[in-house]
Amino acid sequence: MIEAQGLTKRYGDVEAARSVSFRVEKGEVVGILGPNGAGKTTILRMLAGILTPTEGEAKVAGNSASVDALALKRSLGFLSGDTALYQRLTPREVLRYFGRLNDMDERALAARIEQLIDAFQMKDFADRQCGKLSAGQKQRANVARAFLHDPPALILDEPTNALDVVSGRFLLDAIRKERQRGKAILFSTHVLGDAEALCDRVVLLHKGRVLDEGPVPEVIARAHAHTLTDAFLARIGDES
Amino acid sequence: MRPLIVWHIFRKDLLETLRDRRALFTTIVIPLVIYPLLFTFMASMTRSKKEEMEKKQARLAAWGPIPESALRAVLAENAVLVESLAVVPGDAKERARKAVADKAVHVVLVTPQDSQGPSVPISVYADSTQFESEAMGERVLKVLRRAGVQLLEQRMVALGQPAISARPLAVEEVDLADATRRSASLVGTILPYLVIILLASAAFYSAIDLTAGEKERGTLQTLLTAPVQPLEVVSGKYLTVLTMTLIAALANIGSLGLAIGRMLSGVGGGEASFHMGPRVVLALFLTLLPAALLLAALFVAVGVMARTYREGQSYLMPLLFLVIFAAIGSVVPGAELTPAMALVPLTNITLLMHDVLAGRATLALGTMVIISSFAYASLGVLLAARVFETEQVLLSGEKPWKDVFARKAKGGLGPASALFFVAVLVVVAFYGSIPLLRAITREQIGRAIAISEVGFFLVPAVLWVLVLRAPVSDAFQLRLPSRRGLLGAVLLAAGGWAVGLVVMAFLSRYEGAREYSRQLGDLLGKHGPLSLGEAVLLVAVLPALCEEATFRGVVLVGLGRTGSRWLAVVGSALAFGLFHFNPYHIVSATVLGLVLGYAAYESRSLLPGVLMHFVNNAFHMVRARVPALEAPFDSPVVIGLGLLATAAGLWLLRGSGGRPGPTPAPSVARASAVQR
């Protein structure tokens, strides 16, 4: 469903990503893990069609970023710590705006917005300007925005950053539900505990390269470690 | 591009902008309140000062034997004599200055001792820097002139002549403009300038908010995750900035127009009035629109390169100054809308507005202004779209400006350094030329050329490269072209003179260009102080080396690091043109600079430019001194062959140096911003 095929991104002499390949299948959550500067955001942005790879190909639901970036974006919900909401619009207006940008039918859009407001418990603040919302409320609205057009694939770049425990838990639950609905989910995080609890498979990334990839127990075993954190540190240590 | 998506983006951006109360208050509400208050206050102050001056008694000092009749006439017009000296003090002027400065008197009348005979001199001392002294001085002068005429009439009568013979010419001044047009002309001088500034201010705020502001708030990336194209985003934002610019400008203009009109009617005591009828309003709007289109496009294009609101301000401020500079056109005395001026962006609009308000706009020139402004606006939009399509600009978190225009590597040249270098050259050339022009006589013109070529171009360029520790061979493109490039260079040199000749022929329609050509001929021709050998050395060899090293070296190489051929070629040509100072020479040099720049960029070598520059300059030197050469080279066939050789040369040079551009930028650590 989500496919990275030899993704490379070069800025002059510097490689932000080097021949990165992996797949995320339907109903699967894959965690992409790496320290700051590992190239996670660059890879996710290439997969989301907002960065053009120097080499390789990004595909979502069969749509290639290089062939039809718009079709790729339509099949994807993207959420990251950097994707903020418009401060002077209300969550309802934000959802309406993105629904229109996704070519959604007006009646279907109105129904979907009500459904998401209900599902994400946003009734109390759906008509309040985003600038006046708490971090948790903003993130709920943002998740609703990413889920709005019900895309078959989701890319979530450190979505639990700066969230309190309650909001973080809410988000992880939402991700689990989407997995149950058959979505392919690519998820990056610093919180390895979240990854261990949520991901079916992980991709360990360092200096733009894939160090290891596979189900969490296998990655732990290959590193002769006891936890994902130990495995992660061991692999990075090997490379440094 | 899908219009519906553009519409959605525009509608959202407009809604968000209109909800920004602080912005609305600053750009619309405050001007609506401030102008009426300001101008009402000014009108009231001016009126009351005028009335006060009319009623105020002038305090006079009279030194020396002032004719009694004259003094009587002055004192009869609301004046009082506070000091009278029979003998004029030795330091009369100094004492008068002190008396006026101390406010003891407004005016001092002085008649030198022993002034007798049919004409008695009276000096009226007043201080033009002091409002009251100046006004009283004018009043006294008027009275004295009238008294002089009356005295003459009395003398004529005493001689048995009619009194009227004292006025052999009854001169009357008639202003063909009525009061309304006079005031409209006055308003037309100020208003266009203000309008452009107001438009720019409005565009400034909206553009930063919707570009750098969005980036800083993190919403631009959110938008880019949606299925939208960069051109749709830029179009939606552009329309929003345009709308806000027009709304703010119209509010400002309306308020300002009404306030100025009210002030004028106050000043003129009802005589002067200013009304804007529907036709004038429509005409003004038609001129406003292209200006707003252009400003919005420019500000969006530049604003998007900033990563924060603050950075946006620092990027847009220089642009704002340029806009102000262009808008000054309407307030320069004697500035008129001519076919040539109709092509100067923004200045053309201010001049057209001036003509519209003064009621003398012509359809032909108006159309030219609007068409050229729309063309510039379209270029602006394309630039904005181009910038928006650069992913580093939209997404980088560190130094987007450097990402777009390729980061300068350690010890290398970059676009920022090239622009800064041009600024340094301007300072060096401007201030350096002041003592040079003072010290050098006509006979020493050769020395002046040598000093300016070496001192203003070559030395700064070499120092610049050394200071930046850039590889000298890269900075000056010191490499031989390929065989194909060499052939192209030879053809270019053989025919390049024709380009200069064609441009000069075009420019010779203008008297200014002809006059400049005559001056150059006088200085550098066969009647000038230089021998042919000296002229070729100084006017052909030196510029070919010094100017090429500077403009096709440091400047073009630096701009070339953007990866944009056209930015490098056009930018270096404009800089090259700028240093030819005379407006007509700037045009011809810029055209030549385009050809030279293209040759240097494509061949990645300085040699083609040096060859063509040398041959072109030497050709003109020799042709000016050998009349036999004039006729053959005026032949359309020969010129055509020259142009053909130039075209063939450029074709051969294209891509002859390999790609990309002149010396690819060593890009060290460029990606740290985006590598996370």
Contacts of A14 in chain B (CB under 8 A): 667-672, 675
Contact (CB, 8 A) for A210 and A20: yes
Q: How far is CA B547 from CA B196, B434, B559, B580, in A?
A: 36, 20, 16, 11
The reply to whether residue A14 touches residue B228, judged by beta carbons under 8 angstroms, is no
pLDDT of residue B649: 92
The reply to whether residue A37 touches residue B675, judged by beta carbons under 8 angstroms, is yes
- CA B338 to CA B76: how far, in whole Å? 52
B1 touches chain A (CB under 8 A): no
B16 touches chain A (CB under 8 A): yes
- How many C-beta atoms lie closer than 10 Å to residue B442's C-beta? 10
pLDDT of residue A36: 80
Categorize the per-residue pLDDT at B393 as very low, low, confident or very high, splitting at 50, 70 and 90. Answer: low
Contact (CB, 8 A) for A26 and A1: yes
Q: Determine the average pLDDT of the residues in B200-229.
A: 84
**H/E element holding B428?**
helix B415-439
Helices assigned H by DSSP within B304-390: 309-327, 347-358, 363-388
Q: Please name the residues between 373 and 392 in chain B that touch chain A, using a CB distance below 8 Å.
A: 391-392
* Min distance B216 CA to chain A CA atoms (Å): 10
**3-class secondary-structure state, position B604:** coil
* Min distance B23 CA to chain A CA atoms (Å): 13
Of A151, B647, B517, the residue nearest B639 (C-alpha): B647
The reply to whether residue B395 touches residue A51, judged by beta carbons under 8 angstroms, is yes
Helices assigned H by DSSP within B440-555: 445-451, 459-467, 472-475, 483-495, 497-507, 511-524, 532-535, 542-547
pLDDT of residue B665: 42
Q: Domain residue spans in chain B?
A: 3-45+178-401, 53-166, 415-667
B228 touches chain A (CB under 8 A): yes
- CA B307 to CA B674: how far, in whole Å? 13
CA angle B408, B577, B347 (to 5 degrees): 100
The reply to whether residue A82 touches residue B218, judged by beta carbons under 8 angstroms, is yes
Phi, psi of A188 (to 5 degrees): -115, 145
B519 touches chain A (CB under 8 A): no
pLDDT per residue of chain A (240 residues) written in tens, 0 to 9:
889 899 898 876 778 888 899 999 999 999 998 888 888 888 998 898 888 888 898 989 888 887 788 889 999 999 877 668 898 999 999 999 999 999 899 999 999 999 999 888 889 999 999 989 888 888 889 889 999 999 999 998 887 776 777 777 888 888 888 899 899 999 888 777 778 888 889 998 888 888 888 898 888 888 888 888 888 888 877 655
Of A52, A8, A11, the residue nearest B665 (C-alpha): A11
Contacts of A89 in chain B (CB under 8 A): 12, 15-16
For the domain spanning B53-166, the CATH number is 3.40.190
- CA B196 to CA B323: how far, in whole Å? 8
Categorize the per-residue pLDDT at B106 as very low, low, confident or very high, splitting at 50, 70 and 90. Answer: very high
The reply to whether residue A13 touches residue B222, judged by beta carbons under 8 angstroms, is no
- CA B634 to CA B640: how far, in whole Å? 10
pLDDT of residue A162: 65
Contact (CB, 8 A) for A77 and A151: yes
The reply to whether residue B675 touches residue A103, judged by beta carbons under 8 angstroms, is no
Q: What is the pLDDT of residues B262-278, one digit of tens each?
A: 666 554 444 445 555 66
The reply to whether residue A88 touches residue B224, judged by beta carbons under 8 angstroms, is no
The reply to whether residue A12 touches residue B670, judged by beta carbons under 8 angstroms, is yes
Contacts of B391 in chain A (CB under 8 A): 50-52
Here the tokens at position B580 are 């030819």
B8 touches chain A (CB under 8 A): yes
Write the CB contacts of B385 (distance below 8 Å, at least 6 apart in sequence).
B230, B231, B234, B235
Write the CB contacts of B270 (distance below 8 Å, at least 6 apart in sequence).
none
Strands A201-206 and A29-33: parallel
Task: Provide the ipTM.
Answer: 0.88
Contact (CB, 8 A) for A43 and A17: yes
Secondary structure letter of residue B581 according to DSSP:
-
HEC per residue, B170-198: CCCCCCCCCHHHHHHHHHHHHHHHHHHHH
Write the CB contacts of B158 (distance below 8 Å, at least 6 apart in sequence).
none
Categorize the per-residue pLDDT at B412 as very low, low, confident or very high, splitting at 50, 70 and 90. Answer: low
pLDDT of residue B262: 65
pLDDT of residue B391: 65
The reply to whether residue B395 touches residue A50, judged by beta carbons under 8 angstroms, is yes
pLDDT at B545 over 90: yes
CB pairs under 8 A between A and B: 117
- CA B584 to CA B514: how far, in whole Å? 9
Place of tokens 């979907």: A112
Nearest CB to A14; choose among B226, B227, B669: B669
Contacts of A42 in chain B (CB under 8 A): 674-676
Residue of A nearest to B217 (CA): A84
Q: What percentage of chain B reaches a pLDDT higher than 90?
A: 21
- CA A237 to CA A206: how far, in whole Å? 10
Interface mutation vs chain B, best among A7, A8, A14, A128, most B CBs within 10 Å: A14
The reply to whether residue A85 touches residue B676, judged by beta carbons under 8 angstroms, is no
Residue of A nearest to B230 (CA): A50
Nearest CB to B671; choose among A11, A85, A98: A11
Interface mutation vs chain A, best among B7, B15, B225, most A CBs within 10 Å: B225
Contact (CB, 8 A) for B99 and B105: yes
pLDDT at B513 over 50: yes
The reply to whether residue B221 touches residue A42, judged by beta carbons under 8 angstroms, is no
Q: Determine the average pLDDT of the residues in B224-229.
A: 86
Nearest CB to A102; choose among B9, B226, B392: B226
Answer whether 0.80 is exceeded by the pTM.
no
